[in-house]
Amino acid sequence: MPFIILISITSARHTKFCHNIHYSRVKNRTLKLRTENQMSNQNDQNILSGRFRGYYPVVIDVETAGFNARTDALLEIAAITLKMDTEGWLTPADTLHFHIEPFEGANLDPAALAFTGIDPTNPLRGAVSEYAALHAIFKMIRKGMKDTNCNRAIIVAHNANFDHNFVTAAAERSGLKRNPFHPFATFDTAALSGLVLGQTILAKACITAEIPFDSTQAHSALYDTDRTALLFCELVNRWKRLGGWPLPPIDSES
């Protein structure tokens, strides 16, 4: 009987010892995985898809013949995609620019035409249809989304609601059902510039951010998109330089 008791005690101690070793290994693996996940999350914040929650930012500017996206002509559009280097700095990437033929029955407000300086009847514009312009832009965007592992595009623009409305209306008129842009979310550089720079006008925001701005080229979709892209990149990169990004790791147990 004593021999049997001794074996039982020894067996119990061995089981407890093995359990402690197993628990220690599991705990170490958990801590290691947590550390690796935190490092991965930190690294993910320095890629485009990780910086904007899977959104692919595309800078847009439109020139129009009025303020009503449903009735007034879209006359010019430019789009610039963005890229992020391995250290998380944002810069402009690819550009597309089109002069656009007014859609059939479009309103052409003389005051708007005088403001932009666009003559819709000028054959030297080389204007294309809304469909042709947006089809090419959407194709460029979808390729960029695929290359960067983003799941949806988002418009970046100065007073973005205006540009978003015109792009959406033109896409609907053209029968382009695969609009890559989020249906309502945007990044508005007017609002962001007001917060960061104390300026909401594009020219003044650029000058305050030390981005050259030539007022004689303003109200050209290509030039305004280029300046807006540089401005947005500066706002994002400035936040990073000031230490606001990447975000610190979040301890799930705290």
Task: Give the Cα separation of 13 and 1 in Å (integer).
Answer: 19
In the chain, what is the greatest distance between 2 CA atoms, to the nearest angstrom? 110
B/e letters for 93-117, b = 16+ CB within 10 Å, e = fewer, are beebbbbbbbbeebebbeebbeebe
Q: Which of 14, 22, 99, 219 is catalytic?
A: 219
152-157 and 181-188 strand pairing? parallel
* 234 known member of a binding site: no
Residue 219 annotated among the catalytic residues of the structure: yes
Q: H helices within the chain, ranges in order?
A: 2-44, 48-51, 110-116, 130-148, 160-173, 189-196, 202-208, 221-241
* 44 known member of a binding site: no
Task: Give the Cα separation of 56 and 145 in Å (integer).
Answer: 6
* 188 known member of a binding site: no
Catalytic annotation, residues: 219
Annotated binding site for Mg(2+): 61, 63, 219, 224
Annotated binding site: 61, 63, 219, 224
